[in-house]
């Protein structure tokens, strides 16, 4: 397969260079080729989006909804082939990837229905014979910059609300998810997204992403990715006074209290830490355990880790695939070496697969490092979890909050008082009881505190706030 740009309703192959796409489950296999854009392509996409804006913004929500309903239908119809492409491209196991595509279907339906939702409010006026009310209007042209770890769901949870609110979009997907992005765009085009309303620009972050921020006439930017890049995006937008949202890193903790139902807790910890090979911003990377049950939790986690099925992403029995790329492999294995060198490895996964064929990193549970150690403080974005013991609930909470990040946090307990205190005291945008740190539903606000986000929220109704601006209207009829 080859990537293509879609700009102003035209498919074309940009000429800024090429990049081979290899299957992370079997790196010898080349899946396709990316054709990279030049900065001028981003500028052209911006012009197309600006030109398409008045007509799209002027349509009724109900008419825009028809396109999203049709897209939902097409994504559902092509669920299997889209999931297979995305799994092959970035290594997420096929069963999980099918779930991700289904999530995109639900998001498209959800935002389609928003096209006819009542919005705004009538506000009593102090002046006589004045009707005063608010209405929401589109932001305008929105730049959407997405990562590779949810190659279908994240773009859709930005693009669907942007479109239903009447915006036009320039989308710059991650290099490592650009074959999938091309297919996602083909489906949206087939669904009837008009020329220029969505524009796909494939290319590198440092050139095309940067050009989008510096040289394109934008009214808003929605970004998900690393904290370093997110801060650059925020700075660029702030200097241009463009509305932005950035979703960045996490270092999410799961606290296990002594009365937790371990039969349910252990699978939730395993899924939180190791599904998607830990490559979720909401992945569990610190497990904080009441010392009263520490040994038992370690023993059970070690058993569970030993039975994790590691293998190629496209095999239906695979629970954990490879990490997505050489860069990911190098980064994650550097933390594995750090754990072996500075700490104590409590459990390591096994596999019969020849791990040299792809970017396989076996799941790992580590301990024995100080709280300020990189294993406990830095986002690893891989299948490496660190376990820490706490002697009191207060210590568990202090450890939980001892991070610059604040995306997601969970507690496992039957104790209502502890659960409620946790929801109150945990410094995270997503706080959960007896549920893994990952997996928030699309109809709920998603986002983090502290260094994890720009303090905005995505998905649910929150997305509608980002992709619109409020007008206060007043009419004198006396
Ligand atoms: P990761 O390290 O996981 O690849 P990044 O934050 O680098 O995360 O990437 C997230 C998205 O941001 C990708 O689409 C990437 O191409 C894009 N990106 C990277 N650098 C820049 C930049 N300087 N300006 C705009 N976008 C960028």
Does 446 reside within a domain? no
Q: Are residues 181 and 267 in the same domain?
A: no
CA angle (3 as vertex; 101, 318 as ends), nearest 5:
40
pLDDT, tens digit, 9 for 90 and up, residues 342-391: 999 999 999 999 999 999 999 999 999 999 999 999 999 999 999 999 99
Please give the distance, rounded to the nearest whole angstrom, from the Cα atom of residue 206 to the centre of ligand 1: 7
Whole-angstrom distance, CA of residue 266 vs CA of residue 287: 11
Q: Are residues 432 and 466 in the same domain?
A: no
Q: Which residue among 146, 148, 151, 174 is best mutated to probe the pocket of ligand 1, counting the most ligand atoms within 8 A of its Cβ? A: 174
Does 448 reside within a domain? no
Q: Are residues 9 and 69 in the same domain?
A: yes
Place of tokens 């489950």: 25
CA angle (28 as vertex; 26, 31 as ends), nearest 5:
80
Please give the distance, rounded to the nearest whole angstrom, from the Cα atom of residue 139 to the centre of ligand 1: 23
Cβ of 280 below 6 Å from ligand 1: no
Residue 296 · residue 263 · CB < 8 Å: no
- Does 237 qualify as catalytic in the annotation? no
Q: Are residues 295 and 232 in the same domain?
A: no
Q: Are residues 417 and 457 in the same domain?
A: no
Whole-angstrom distance, CA of residue 467 vs CA of residue 167: 7
Specify the residue with its C-alpha closest to ligand 1, atom 13. 174
Q: Are residues 240 and 337 in the same domain?
A: no
CB neighbours of residue 416 within 10 Å: 9
User: Phi-psi bin for 42: left (phi > 0), alpha (psi -120 to 50), beta?
Assistant: alpha
Burial tier of 341 (Cβ tally within 10 Å: 0-12, 13-18, 19+): exposed
Question: Which one of 247, 379, 436, 458 is the catalytic residue?
Answer: 247
* Residue 60, φ and ψ in degrees, nearest 5: -75, 155
Whole-angstrom distance, CA of residue 460 vs CA of residue 414: 29
For 26, the token pair is 């079997």
Specify the residue with its C-alpha closest to ligand 1, atom 10. 225
Residue 457 · residue 443 · CB < 8 Å: no
Cβ of 209 below 6 Å from ligand 1: yes
Cβ of 205 below 6 Å from ligand 1: yes
Q: For residue 250, which of 439, 458, 407 has the smallest C-alpha distance?
A: 407
Question: Coil, strand, or helix at residue 253?
Answer: strand
Instruction: List the pLDDT tens digit at each of the 478 positions of the chain.
Output: 999 999 999 999 999 999 999 999 999 999 999 999 999 999 999 999 999 999 999 999 999 999 999 999 999 999 999 999 999 999 999 999 999 999 999 999 999 999 999 888 999 999 999 999 999 999 999 999 999 999 999 999 999 999 999 999 999 999 999 999 999 999 999 999 999 999 999 999 999 999 999 999 999 999 999 999 999 999 999 999 999 999 999 999 999 999 999 999 999 999 999 999 999 999 999 999 999 999 999 999 999 999 999 999 999 999 999 999 999 999 999 999 999 999 999 999 999 999 999 999 999 999 999 999 999 999 999 999 999 999 999 999 999 999 999 999 999 999 999 999 999 999 999 999 999 999 889 999 999 999 999 999 999 999 999 999 999 999 999 9
Cβ of 174 below 6 Å from ligand 1: yes
Domain range for 209: 5-248+453-476
CA angle (92 as vertex; 384, 6 as ends), nearest 5:
130
CATH code of the domain containing 391 = 3.40.309.10
For 442, the token pair is 């699309």
The total of structural domains in the chain comes to: 2
For 196, the token pair is 């220029």
Does 295 reside within a domain? yes
For 217, the token pair is 């006439």
Cβ of 232 below 6 Å from ligand 1: yes
pLDDT, tens digit, 9 for 90 and up, residues 273-323: 999 999 999 999 999 999 999 999 999 999 999 999 999 999 999 999 999
Question: Which one of 165, 237, 281, 400 is the catalytic residue?
Answer: 281
User: Phi-psi bin for 381: left (phi > 0), alpha (psi -120 to 50), beta?
Assistant: left
CATH code of the domain containing 218 = 3.40.605.10
Q: Are residues 171 and 257 in the same domain?
A: no
Q: Which atom of ligand 1 is nearest to the CA of 145?
A: 14
Q: Are residues 166 and 301 in the same domain?
A: no
Does 447 reside within a domain? no
- Does 315 qualify as catalytic in the annotation? no
Please give the distance, rounded to the nearest whole angstrom, from the Cα atom of residue 219 to the centre of ligand 1: 19
Helix or strand run (H / E) with residue 145: strand 141-145
């Amino acid at each position: 397969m080859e990537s293509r740009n879609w700009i102003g309703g035209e498919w074309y192959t940009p000429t800024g260079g090429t990049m081979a796409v290899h299957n992370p489950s079997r790196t010898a296999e080349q899946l396709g080729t990316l054709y990279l854009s030049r900065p001028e392509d981003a500028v052209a996409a911006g012009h197309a989006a600006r030109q398409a804006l008045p007509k799209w913004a002027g349509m009724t929500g109900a008419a825009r909804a028809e396109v999203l309903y049709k897209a939902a239908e097409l994504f559902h119809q092509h669920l299997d082939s889209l999931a297979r492409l995305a799994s092959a491209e970035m290594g997420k196991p096929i069963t999980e990837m099918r779930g991700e595509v289904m999530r995109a279907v639900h998001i498209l339906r959800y935002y389609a229905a928003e096209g006819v939702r009542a919005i705004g409010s009538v506000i009593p006026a102090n002046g006589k014979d004045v009707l005063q009310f608010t209405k929401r209007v589109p932001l305008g042209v929105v730049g959407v910059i997405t990562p590779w770890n949810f190659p279908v769901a994240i773009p859709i949870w930005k693009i669907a609300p942007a479109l239903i609110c009447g915006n036009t979009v320039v989308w710059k997907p991650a290099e490592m998810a650009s074959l999938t992005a091309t297919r996602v765009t083909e489906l949206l085009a087939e669904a009837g997204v008009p020329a220029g309303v969505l524009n796909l620009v494939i290319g590198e972050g440092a050139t095309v992403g940067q050009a989008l921020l510096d040289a394109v006439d934008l009214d808003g930017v929605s970004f998900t990715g690393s904290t370093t890049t997110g801060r650059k995006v925020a700075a660029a937008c702030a200097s241009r006074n463009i509305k932005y949202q950035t979703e960045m890193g996490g270092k999410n903790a799961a606290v296990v209290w002594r009365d937790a139902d371990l039969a349910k807790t252990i699978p939730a910890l395993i899924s939180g830490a190791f599904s998607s090979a830990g490559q979720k911003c909401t992945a569990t990377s610190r497990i904080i355990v009441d010392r009263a049950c520490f040994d038992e939790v370690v023993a059970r986690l070690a058993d569970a880790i030993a039975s994790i099925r590691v293998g190629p992403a496209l095999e239906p029995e695979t629970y954990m695939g490879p990490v997505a790329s050489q860069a990911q492999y190098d980064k994650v294995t550097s933390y594995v070496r750090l754990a072996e060198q500075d700490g104590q490895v409590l459990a390591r996964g096994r596999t019969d697969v020849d791990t040299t064929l792809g970017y396989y990193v076996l799941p790992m549970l580590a301990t024995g490092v100080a709280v300020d150690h990189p294993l406990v403080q830095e986002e690893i974005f891989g299948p490496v979890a660190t376990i820490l013991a706490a002697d009191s609930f207060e210590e568990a909470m202090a450890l939980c909050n001892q991070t610059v990040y604040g995306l997601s946090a969970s507690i496992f307990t039957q104790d209502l008082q502890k659960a409620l205190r946790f929801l109150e005291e945990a410094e995270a945008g997503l706080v959960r009881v007896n549920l893994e740190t990952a997996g928030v539903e699309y109809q709920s606000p998603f986002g983090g505190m502290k260094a994890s986000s720009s303090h905005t929220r995505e998905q649910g109704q929150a997305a509608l706030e980002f992709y619109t601006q409020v007008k206060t209207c007043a009419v004198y009829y006396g």
